[in-house]
Amino acid sequence: MSGGILAMRSRSKPDPPAAAFLAPSVLLQALLFLCPLAIIAGYSLLSRGAYGGVELAVSFENYQRLFDPLYGAILLRSVWLASISTLLCLVLGFPLALFIARSGRRKGLYLQLVILPFWTSFLIRTYAWIFLLRDTGLVNTVLTAAGLITQPLPLLYNDAAVVLGLVYGYLPFMVLPLYATIERLDKSLLEAAADLGATPWKTLWTVVLPLCRPGIVAGVVLVFIPCLGAYLTPDLMGGGKTIMIGNLVQNQFSTARDWPFGAALSLALMALVMALLMAMSRRRGGQQAEDLL
Amino acid sequence: MRPSVLNRRAFLAASAGAAACARDPRPRLNVFNWSDYIAPQVIPNFEREFGVRVRYGVYEVTEEMVARVWSGNSGWDVVFPSNSYVEPLRQAGLLQRLNHARLPGLANLERLFQAPLWDRGLDWSMPYMWGATGIVYQRTLDPAPRAWRDLWSAPLKGRMTMLDDPAEVLGACLKKLGYSVNATSPTELAAAKQEAVTQKAVLRAYLNAEVRDQLIAGDLLAAQAWRLTAQQAIDGAPERLEFVFPEEGFPIYADCACILRESKRSELAHEFLDYLLRPEVAAATAVAMKTSTCNGAARPLLPPAVRDSPIYYPPADVLARGEWFTPVPAAAQRLRDRLWTEIKSA
């Protein structure tokens, strides 16, 4: 009935064309996303200016340089560190999301607490970690005072510190989509599992986890991608002793003043991430994860 | 307008002007300088004395400034490149020739800066502040470091940092090997890279400004540091920290005031440069920012502890070991960038 009315209305007075509604967002996307991307793509095909900037000589050299084993090793390292960080986020984030989803009236409060760190700049929070972890920092001071150690532990400026920084920074991106799927879980399924004699662990493994797959995939994507491109954390928590792909890109635009290579690197990184996303969306659960994102 | 009667139109006009800063009839000078590189009272005093306005912007690294002014249409009048950037900026046609008739204060400069390596006639640049790179260390260290090579010693393991700067790290390695900090030869640079890679075994991290706190807190035993950072650390723990200009030689650099060719307020820009050259102005900034001034006439105005400090103003024989950073040719720069990536990922 109501459909009939709507149909009648649209016949008598046609809706404004969809293009009119789409125009603002299309324009915004074109101006602020596609144009800069096109500029980066353009830069990646030019030559390095002596003091930054680009020279108008077309070359594919920047892309050839990508196949240098030196950069391959840096990429592998980045993928490795990002993978470990993502895995840790998942292992830590899942129980947390489960806990929040089951905490009744306090849910809102706990969710607030998860996003609370975003109220402060990531840079400042990373510096705070440095103050905690350095030789004369809180952790080492307390452990020394408690007589547990005699020499300060090397907590800062190594890969473990980088992973800690990444896990800390991106954990909320794992918890939130996980929470959203767990929340939507049909409780009767859990009850059915219990009625049929499954232990809580068995229910978790055979019912909850498979049903949470979209949330897991979404969380993994949201954590892995920024970890892969991270540059602040490896710089500050890793003490600049190792570099990830994000640092390599950043170097090209600062000290190395090689904008075209930096542009080629960032496009290559983007292509890699796109390829990963597409491969993922083909798999089962991928589509639902996209809906969640 | 009488102050007691503030009608609505005048109020609106005033607030609109304050918001847009467009109605102020005073000429405006646009100054783009390093952050923390001028005494706080200098700009207001200049504005008052000359009846002008100054838009004062700051940058953290030279590349940031160069990227902005490279277009030749950046809106800045005066910038402060490091000495090794003066010649490239001039070659790119971005600088305006200084009119010495308008800069009588140039005579105040220290002799060393009257005819510097990068601009013999001071035609394009006015030396402002200078600095050097050396080693800060805890006095308890025995033996105390005297040279770059001492930063490879095993007892420092995990408690020594180098600067997060390719020119500085390669520079120290090159000096250790007896080469120039500006080396362009692939064999010399490869040898320097090898030194840096070896050093990573004892290295704690590559840090710049953060060394200050970690030296004061005692986390670090020694650090490669810019003289300015070193001084800030020493002032935080004067009884424990010490600075040394390494035996093998060390890089020195000067930041210079330059007027951009695009500037439409050349006369005012010259007045500003000459104002900075006044001994009392140069001294105020040198004291406030703990920098070493290029202004010889300002030296007697400094507090004795600064004026006579061998760290602020090292004696001639020490200064003779310093080597100016010079522009590196494109091919060598590329090699250096690559070596830096190799060092970092080693």
Q: What percent of chain B has pLDDT over 90?
A: 80
Choose the closest CB to A136 out of B165, B207, B219. Answer: B219
Range of the domain at B161: 131-251+326-345
> Can you give the pLDDT at residue A290?
63
pLDDT confidence band for B346 (50 / 70 / 90) = confident
Considering the domain boundaries, does residue B3 fall inside one?
Answer: no
Angle at B101 between CA B95 and CA B104, to 5 degrees: 100
> Can you give the pLDDT at residue B61?
79
| Domain identity same for B219 and B332 | yes
Question: Ranked by mean pLDDT, which of A278-287, B9-18, B54-63, B187-196 comes out on top?
Answer: B187-196
Q: What is the mean pLDDT of residues B32-55?
A: 93
Choose the closest CB to B205 out of A136, A239, A254. Answer: A239
pLDDT confidence band for B23 (50 / 70 / 90) = low
Query: For residues B276 and A208, what is the distance between their CA atoms, to the nearest angstrom?
Result: 71
Query: Is the confidence at residue B34, as pLDDT, over 70?
Result: yes
Query: For residues B230 and B137, what is the distance between their CA atoms, to the nearest angstrom?
Result: 9
| Domain identity same for B237 and B135 | yes
Cβ-defined contact of A51 to B70 (cutoff 8 Å): yes
Output the six-digit token pair for A247: 């640092």
Contacts of B169 in chain A (CB under 8 A): none
| CATH code for position B217 | 3.40.190.10
The residue among A206, A178, A181, A184 whose CA lies nearest residue A193 is A206
Would the ipTM clear 0.90, i.e. be above it? no
Considering the domain boundaries, does residue B287 fall inside one?
Answer: yes
> Can you give the pLDDT at residue B131?
94
Q: Which chain A residue's Cα is nearest to B221? A: A135
> Can you give the pLDDT at residue A13?
58
| Domain identity same for B24 and B79 | yes
| Domain identity same for B206 and B335 | yes
Query: For residues B57 and B76, what is the distance between their CA atoms, to the nearest angstrom?
Result: 9
| Domain identity same for B205 and B294 | no
Considering the domain boundaries, does residue B281 fall inside one?
Answer: yes
Give residue-wise pLDDT tens across range A189-219: 888 988 898 888 888 888 888 999 889 999 9
| Domain identity same for B195 and B149 | yes
Binding-site residues on chain A for chain B (CB distance < 8 A): 48-53, 70-71, 73-74, 77, 130, 134-136, 154, 156-157, 235, 238-243, 247-248, 251, 254-258
Considering the domain boundaries, does residue B2 fall inside one?
Answer: no
| Domain identity same for B152 and B295 | no
| Domain identity same for B182 and B108 | no
Contacts of B334 in chain A (CB under 8 A): 48, 258
| Amino acid residing at B39 | A
Q: Which chain A residue's Cα is nearest to B205? A: A239
Query: For residues A130 and A124, what is the distance between their CA atoms, to the nearest angstrom?
Result: 10
Considering the domain boundaries, does residue B22 fall inside one?
Answer: yes
Number of structural domains, chain B? 2
The residue among A269, A215, A278 whose CA lies nearest residue A74 is A269
Cβ-defined contact of A157 to B204 (cutoff 8 Å): yes
> Can you give the pLDDT at residue B60?
81
Query: Is the confidence at residue B15, as pLDDT, over 60?
Result: no
Give residue-wise pLDDT tens across range B82-126: 999 999 999 999 999 999 999 999 999 999 899 999 999 999 999
| Domain identity same for B156 and B167 | yes
Give residue-wise pLDDT tens across range B218-227: 999 999 999 9
Contacts of B166 in chain A (CB under 8 A): 255-256
| Amino acid residing at B150 | D
Residues of chain A with pLDDT under 70: 1-15, 52, 284-293
> Can you give the pLDDT at residue B3?
40
> Can you give the pLDDT at residue A54?
78
Contacts of A257 in chain B (CB under 8 A): 63, 333
The residue among A229, A220, A228, A230 whose CA lies nearest residue A292 is A220
DSSP conformational letter for B208: S
Query: Is the confidence at residue B8, as pLDDT, over 70?
Result: no
Domains of chain A: 1-38 (no CATH), 45-118+169-292 (1.10.3720.10)
Report in angstroms the alpha-carbon separations of B286 from B5, B62, B282: 45, 20, 6
Q: Which chain B residue's Cα is nearest to A69? A: B342
DSSP string, chain A: -HHHHHHHHHHHSPPPPHHHHHHHHHHHHIIIIIHHHHHHHHHTTSEE-BTBSEES---SHHHHHTTSHHHHHHHHHHHHHHHHHHHHHHHHHHHHHHHHHTSGGGHHHHHHHHHGGGGS-HHHHHHHHHHHHSTTSHHHHHHHHTTS-SS----SSSHHHHHHHHHHHHHHHHHHHHHHHHHHS-HHHHHHHHHTT--HHHHIIIIIHHHTHHHHHHHHHHHHHHHHT--HHHHHTSTTSS--HHHHHHHHHTTT--HHHHHHHHHHHHHHHHHHHHHHHHSTTHHHHHHH-
| Domain identity same for B287 and B308 | yes
Residues 6+ apart with CB under 8 A from B334: A48, A258
Measured over the CA atoms of residue B291, residue B244, residue B342 and residue B335, the dihedral's sign is: positive
Considering the domain boundaries, does residue B203 fall inside one?
Answer: yes
Query: Can you list the alpha helix ranges (DSSP code H) found in chain B?
Result: 8-20, 42-50, 62-69, 83-91, 166-176, 186-199, 211-217, 227-236, 266-277, 279-289, 304-307, 316-319, 330-345
Query: Is the confidence at residue B233, as pLDDT, over 70?
Result: yes
Contacts of B164 in chain A (CB under 8 A): 235, 240
Considering the domain boundaries, does residue B318 fall inside one?
Answer: no
Query: Mutate which of B59, B63, B198 to test chain A, going by most A C-beta atoms within 10 A?
Result: B63
Query: Is the confidence at residue B344, as pLDDT, over 70?
Result: yes
| Domain identity same for B225 and B262 | no
Tell me whether B205 touches chain A (CB under 8 Å).
yes
> Can you give the pLDDT at residue A162?
96
Query: For residues B339 and B183, what is the distance between their CA atoms, to the nearest angstrom?
Result: 13
Considering the domain boundaries, does residue B150 fall inside one?
Answer: yes
> Can you give the pLDDT at residue A1?
41
Residues 133-162 of B with CB under 8 A from A: 158-159, 161
Cβ-defined contact of A134 to B200 (cutoff 8 Å): no
| Domain identity same for B212 and B341 | yes
Query: Is the confidence at residue B5, as pLDDT, over 50?
Result: no
Residue pairs spanning A and B at CB distance below 8 A: 87
Give residue-wise pLDDT tens across range B267-320: 999 999 999 999 999 999 999 988 999 999 999 999 999 999 999 999 999 999
Output the six-digit token pair for A259: 């904008």
Average of per-residue pLDDT values in chain B: 91
Query: For residues B344 and B201, what is the distance between their CA atoms, to the nearest angstrom?
Result: 12
